[in-house]
Chain A
Amino acid sequence: MLTVAPPDAIEMRANATFEALMWALSRPGDIRELPEAGLAAIAETLVDLECTVFSDDPALRAQIAATGALQADDISEADHVFLSSLEGAEARLVALRCGSALYPDDGATLVAQVRHGVGQRVRLSGPGVDGFLELSLGVSSGFWAMRAMLCAYPEGFDMLLVDGRSAIGIPRSTLVEVL
């Protein structure tokens, strides 16, 4: 009575990408491997016509447009924000959606390309971290200060930081101390 299609390449990629993102956010600071480098596969995994997306990359914008998602010109309208760099982005990112205490899920997902293992050293603690964890990320202390200001838990935004095929997740529940 039931005929089921085998998974195609897109399905397999989205499944593996999601698994990496899920574990990345479940264990903040841990590096997870994506099946493909870059942000395109993440967009494919998460967004479609139900979403409003901001992206600073024209190629990615075209790809997102094909999913039927609405393109936001303004970061404050977007539920998903894709950035090719976080450098000097604080001023724009102050507008990131943080949801409300009533609907914390309205807080945005920020997906950004960020170097892992270099740059500002930070200490992470909170859900998903056994004790605390220290690592270096190409994210400025100014950004972390802005995040601390915006994320009044349970309000806040959640970050997926991508370097090639590596992904690190930092949900709003994580306490980030700049070292």
Chain B
Amino acid sequence: MSLSSLTKPWSATSYGFLDASAKRELRRKMLKAIAVPGCQMPYASREVPMARGWGTGGLQVTLTLVNPTSVVKVIDQGADDGVNAASIRRFISRVSGAGETWDTLAASIVQSRHRVPEEVMREDQILVLQVPNPEPLRGVEPNISIARQMHADADYGKLWLTLYEQIVRKGRIMQGAGYPSMVNGRHVMTPSPIPRWDVPKLNMAKHLTFLSAGREKRLFAVPPFTRVEPLVFSDRPYQVEHHADLTCRRSGVSGYFMNELPVDGGGSAFEVSDSNLGIKAIQQAEGAPVEIGKTWYRNGEFSA
């Protein structure tokens, strides 16, 4: 044995940026995450050339998955052209040679911050959600060691109590995005800060979802056909945002999650948050041969 047998020929950066041992660690943890849906698996979380909190967790999962035949879509707030989405997509394609797309239907991997696309994801697709805070109990228990024990004991009483108190005080559950949800009847997870509108898309889905927090060094998964149930009381049904009747001022589509834009002189205008869905709708209206996939919501009603 010689020193050179211990290492490898020098190259400035490994394929897919992460070195082989980082990828193996992620692979091991991703398999465990699938095996115990919704349970946060700790991982070492390497530093990548982006600041923590900017999608480094999602990025590490994507970089472990990609190969030159992958096609990657990256969205931030539903938009492909958001500055950080553009930056992440460009980085992934630079270090992996993967194809880039804006079209949900064409993607093999969709990395996203804060949204699940409106078109139904297929069984061969992977959704990678960036997670700022993986701990649904953080609000009731900031100490992570205690929170971990609560998960071990399936002790979610404090969380239920918070939701109940909101109903008593405000008449409804005030949780905005990141609605805590029970996965496979055992672990409560945060679905990442996606709107309530998107949570049902994870329940008994065909696709595989990874959720990864690079800064907090935890990753978890929702395999296909897995129950994801928002925490609600039986007499207070789960409420998604009241967006069913809103219409996009640019594309004319309605019945999807919208961005609200304040307008001069009061009032608001709306634009569809899944920006490429809007683009495809416009192109279709102009006669271009674009395909819009089946959507999770039809006429504003969830119906997958």
A109 an interface residue at 8 Å Cβ cutoff?
A: yes
Map CB proximity to B onto A64-89 as digits: 1 under 8 Å, 0 otherwise. Answer: 00000000000000000000000000
| Docked-complex contact A102 and B184, CB < 8 angstroms | no
> B27 to chain A: which residues have CB within 8 Å?
18, 21-22, 45-46
B2 an interface residue at 8 Å Cβ cutoff?
A: no
Map CB proximity to A onto B122-160 as digits: 1 under 8 Å, 0 otherwise. Answer: 000000000000000000000000001100110000000
Report Cα–Cα, A89/B32, bound state, in Å: 23
- Identify which of A15, A45, A49, A105 contacts B41 (C-beta below 8 A): A105
Name the residue of chain B whose CB is nearest to the CB of A128.
Answer: B223
Report Cα–Cα, A99/B31, bound state, in Å: 14
Tell me the minimal C-beta distance from A97 to chain B in angstroms: 12
> A166 to chain B: which residues have CB within 8 Å?
none
- Identify which of B21, B29, B41, B223 contacts A127 (C-beta below 8 A): B223
> A47 to chain B: which residues have CB within 8 Å?
24
| Docked-complex contact A173 and B94, CB < 8 angstroms | no
| Docked-complex contact B35 and A173, CB < 8 angstroms | yes
A63 an interface residue at 8 Å Cβ cutoff?
A: no
| Docked-complex contact A4 and B15, CB < 8 angstroms | yes
B290 an interface residue at 8 Å Cβ cutoff?
A: no
Name the residue of chain B whose CB is nearest to the CB of A26.
Answer: B223
Interface of B is mostly: mixed
| Docked-complex contact B223 and A154, CB < 8 angstroms | no
| Docked-complex contact A3 and B15, CB < 8 angstroms | no
Tell me the minimal C-beta distance from A47 to chain B in angstroms: 7
Tell me the minimal C-beta distance from B120 to chain A in angstroms: 15
| Docked-complex contact A127 and B226, CB < 8 angstroms | yes
> A128 to chain B: which residues have CB within 8 Å?
34, 223-226
| Docked-complex contact A5 and B225, CB < 8 angstroms | no
Map CB proximity to B onto A87-102 as digits: 1 under 8 Å, 0 otherwise. Answer: 0000000000000111
> B96 to chain A: which residues have CB within 8 Å?
4
- State which of A6-14, A113-121, A141-149 sits at the interface with chain B: A6-14
| Docked-complex contact A101 and B34, CB < 8 angstroms | no
Tell me the minimal C-beta distance from A66 to chain B in angstroms: 10
B246 an interface residue at 8 Å Cβ cutoff?
A: no
> B95 to chain A: which residues have CB within 8 Å?
2, 4
B68 an interface residue at 8 Å Cβ cutoff?
A: yes
Q: Restricting to B23-38, which residues have a CB under 8 Å from any CB of A?
A: 23-25, 27-32, 34-37
> A49 to chain B: which residues have CB within 8 Å?
21
> A129 to chain B: which residues have CB within 8 Å?
225
> B39 to chain A: which residues have CB within 8 Å?
104-105, 154
Given contacts A5-B13, A11-B15, 8 further A-B contacts (CB under 8 A): A4-B97, A25-B35, A26-B34, A101-B152, A104-B39, A105-B32, A127-B224, A173-B36
Can you list 10 A-B pairs, Cβ within 8 angstroms, ordered by A? Answer: A3-B12, A7-B67, A109-B32, A127-B224, A128-B223, A130-B204, A130-B224, A153-B36, A158-B32, A173-B35
Closest 10 CB pairs of A and B: A171-B35, A101-B152, A127-B226, A105-B32, A5-B11, A3-B12, A7-B15, A158-B35, A102-B152, A26-B223
